[in-house]
Amino acid sequence: MLKYLHNIRWNRVLYLSLFFLGVIAVIIVMSLVNRKDEQQVCREVNIFIEGKEAFIDQGDISALISKNYGNIIGKRLLDIPLEKIEKTLKKLPYVSKASVHLDMDGIMAINIAQREVVMRVINKNGREYYIDLNGLKVPTTLKYVPHVMIATGNIEEGYKNPLDSVNTSLVKDLFRVTQFIENDELWSNQVVQVFVNNDRDIELVPRVGNQQLIIGTADSLEQKFSLLRTFYKEIIPKVGVDAYNKVNVKYAGQIICEKRGVWTFDDLHHPEKKIKNNTL
């Protein structure tokens, strides 16, 4: 018997015993943790809202969650429908992204990214809506009025549902023109509004001067705004800022200016020529 005991590898027995004791300890700890998790309640809700807009605030988000899911604080973590809350937040027309998380200490973190709007449309019937960076329609609200380009005039496209896509070529052109203006330091300071006239041509309303700046459509915007830049840098210094009523760059390679019903052509293919007077 003693010989048998002597042959036992006690180190191995010790290691195995410690291993099984460790496993048992882990099981006990996990059981206690799970029991704690089952009873853990939400102790705090933190709401973070990103973006330069102010369409919604923390109070709006809290009120929406309370209305749909009751008071979250004090509720068991297992009873809080995180995915449903997240989907509800994503349905808000002013929200582009939303995520909801809970940690083991019972703290809920709600992260919201607001939509960035770039243009406000007022159609010919007075219907208003915003258009965001993705070309989606966003409803207006009295709570917040962002400082964005306004498009008015002979615009037929209206508004039905939040986040509808723009569907007419005219409003798509207005969107492209607005984006071009906003991405240029000079024009974002000089142009305060876009307007659609009765010929369905897009006009720019300048901050300085009272000319009608006619660009037509959103085609060849680089060239058209280059012509307008030439008008401001080369023509206005010669004739004055209010010399012309209309400046038309919708035709390729030309600036056409109107003064008291008389049109003058400045062909940029021959910049050495002086402005010629022509009656149309």
**Distance, CA of 95 to CA of 50 (rounded, Å):** 10
Instruction: State whether 28 and 96 are in the same domain.
Output: no
Give the pLDDT of residue 179. Answer: 96
Question: pTM of the prediction?
Answer: 0.77
Instruction: State whether 13 and 85 are in the same domain.
Output: no
Paired sense of beta strands 191-196 and 95-102, if any: unpaired
> Which residue type is seen at 231?
F
pLDDT at 259 over 70: yes
pLDDT at 114 over 90: yes
Instruction: State whether 125 and 247 are in the same domain.
Output: yes
What are the pLDDT digits (tens) for 137-193? 999 999 999 999 999 999 999 999 999 999 999 999 999 999 999 999 999 999 999
Q: What is the CATH number of the domain that holds 186?
A: 3.40.50.11690
Count: domains in the chain: 3
Give the pLDDT of residue 236. Answer: 87
Q: Of 114, 142, 159, which residue is a domain's last? A: 114
Location of structure tokens 């001067």: 209
Q: Of 114, 140, 171, which residue is a domain's last? A: 114
Give the pLDDT of residue 273. Answer: 44
Instruction: State whether 222 and 131 are in the same domain.
Output: yes
Q: Of 95, 114, 133, which residue is a domain's last? A: 114
Give the single-character DSSP code of 137.
E
**HSE value, Cβ hemisphere, 13 Å, CA-based, for 267:** 7
**Distance, CA of 9 to CA of 3 (rounded, Å):** 12
pLDDT at 261 over 60: no
Instruction: State whether 148 and 258 are in the same domain.
Output: yes
Look at 36 and 178; give whichever has higher pLDDT.
Answer: 178
Instruction: State whether 149 and 252 are in the same domain.
Output: yes
Which domain, by its residues, includes 34?
9-39
Look at 256 and 269; give whichever has higher pLDDT.
Answer: 256
Question: In this structure, is the dihedral angle defined by the CA atoms of residues 152, 184, 144 and 72, taken in order, positive or negative?
Answer: positive
Q: Could you tell me if residue 125 is inside a domain?
A: yes
DSSP string, 74-100: TSBGGG--HHHHHHHHHTSTTEEEEEE
Instruction: State whether 124 and 185 are in the same domain.
Output: yes
Task: Say if residues 72 and 44 touch (Cβ distance below 8 Å).
Answer: no
Give the pLDDT of residue 23. Answer: 63
Give the pLDDT of residue 278. Answer: 36
pLDDT class of 84 with cuts at 50, 70, 90 = very high
Instruction: State whether 157 and 248 are in the same domain.
Output: yes
Instruction: State whether 75 and 203 are in the same domain.
Output: no
Instruction: State whether 60 and 121 are in the same domain.
Output: no
What are the pLDDT digits (tens) for 199-245? 999 999 999 888 899 999 999 999 999 999 999 998 888 888 888 88
